[in-house]
Chain A
Amino acid sequence: MRKKKIIIILSILIVVAAVILGYVAVLYWKGGINNYEPPKQTYATSREQVQADLQNLSKAVEAYFVVHMEYPRKLEQLQPAFLERIGNDPASGTPYVYTLSGTNGAGRYRISVPNPKLYNAEELYIEDGALFQK
């Protein structure tokens, strides 16, 4: 009876030690120089991705305004200082539509998806930092 108990305890200890060793091994394996990269951004849906894209573009446009005191005439002007790449609308594969109203580049800006129907929406755009979708 006592011998059986010892065997059970030893088995548990071996399992716990194996789990700990496994965990440490995983942490060591994931700590190699090849893993010196930031966590990857993942989006569950293309709608989520488009919202993130529009917000990133909007932030870059506003940052451009801080430097130049006017909005960019086209999105390409945001590269390379504010964005690494502009990217396309994930559903249609075509570029986002950027419009600027008002004079001297100080009016309002709007960045919209080329075809909102692909997102089951009538409108999907970001204007002066606020996201609109309906």
Chain B
Amino acid sequence: MKTAHFFKNRFVNYPVRTRLITALAAVIVLLSGASTLYSRESIDNELAKALRKTVKCERIEIKTTTGDDKSGDLKSLFMKFVSLPINGVPVDYVTAQYANPKIDFKTLRNANTVKITSYSDFAVRMLVSEQTIKNEFIRTARKLNFNYDKFLIKFSPPYIELEFSVPSNTIAPKDRKFVEKFMVNDRFEGYAALRLEVRDNRIFVVPAKVILNHFLLPMPVLTELQKRVNPIYKIPRMLPFDYTLGKIDLLKQYIFLRN
């Protein structure tokens, strides 16, 4: 009887206990998982909130990843800024990516400020769309009262193609003198295929082919032209990040800049 009771207990009560333990373990695992997820989401939100204070743009997205170990240290931190104005130009996408970042959480929570004390790698990438370039050209032309009959911009990787027709008086006298032997009817009409280069946050154009009033400009003229127009743009540093852009590529619809 006692043996039977023992067996009864063993086969009836033990599974209940097992189930209970299993259920508790599952709850603990789920809670810890949820807490990790919550804490990561919470970090993402806090970082986005702090960045919104200093960086003015259309949208900020943060994505953090943790390593496989249990330390909870961040493996990577991605920050994405959508339509971020840099020197007045709304850059379509900017990302800052840190590997193994150490964030000062005290400063983040108390002062609502992002402070990254250390990291193993840092990358900044920017994408400027063809449409943004076109809009910016129209805006700048209006601002500078630059008149033109035709000015088409097209991305044909690795070249930017331009087709233009402008009155000669819109060109600055010192530059006009240089190309006036190609001038016909007080106009400059033609085509240009340009490559882009970036050095120390400054963008340079390299004319690969320029046609002006039905004349293909010879290489010595292109070299001189290149000297006169460059650099065409200086990209300011966007606080709180410190970077030097050194790579530029032309994609189908974007200019892609990287450090």
Contact = CB atoms under 8 A, between A and B. Distances in A.
> Do these two chains really belong together in a complex?
yes
A63 interface: yes
Given A31-B214, A67-B127, A69-B63, 10 more contacts: A28-B215, A30-B216, A38-B193, A39-B209, A63-B125, A69-B80, A82-B252, A82-B253, A82-B254, A84-B157
B100 to A, nearest CB: 14
B254 A81 contact: yes
Interface string A45-65: 000000000001001101101
Interface string A22-38: 00001110111001111
Interface string B83-98: 0000000000111000
Contact of B256 (A38, A41, A63): A63
Main secondary structure on B side of the interface with A: strand
A38 B159 CA distance: 7
A104 interface: yes
A45 to B, nearest CB: 19
Interface residues of B, number: 38
Output the residue of A27, A65, A81 with the most chain B CB within 10 A. Answer: A27
A83 B251 contact: yes
B211 A31 contact: yes
A73 B213 CA distance: 47
A36 B76 contact: no
A58 B26 CA distance: 43
Given A66-B80, A82-B252, A32 B125 contact: no
Interface string A65-84: 11101000000000011111
A31 B216 contact: yes
B95 A66 contact: yes
B197 interface: no
15 contacts: A28-B214, A31-B190, A31-B211, A31-B212, A36-B191, A36-B211, A38-B193, A63-B256, A65-B95, A66-B93, A66-B95, A69-B80, A82-B254, A83-B252, A106-B65
Interface in B138-185: 156-159, 161, 163
Interface of B: 61, 63, 65, 76, 78, 80, 93-95, 125-127, 156-159, 161, 163, 190-191, 193, 208-209, 211-218, 249, 251-254, 256, 258
A79 to B, nearest CB: 8
B95 A38 contact: no
Interface of A: 26-28, 30-32, 35-39, 41, 56, 59-60, 62-63, 65-67, 69, 80-84, 104, 106
A36 B256 contact: no
Closest 4 CB pairs of A and B: A38-B193, A38-B159, A30-B216, A36-B191
B214 A32 contact: yes
A87 to B, nearest CB: 12
Contacts of A56: 157
Nearest to B92: A67
B127 A35 contact: no
B218 A38 contact: no
B127 A63 contact: yes
Contacts of B191: 35-36
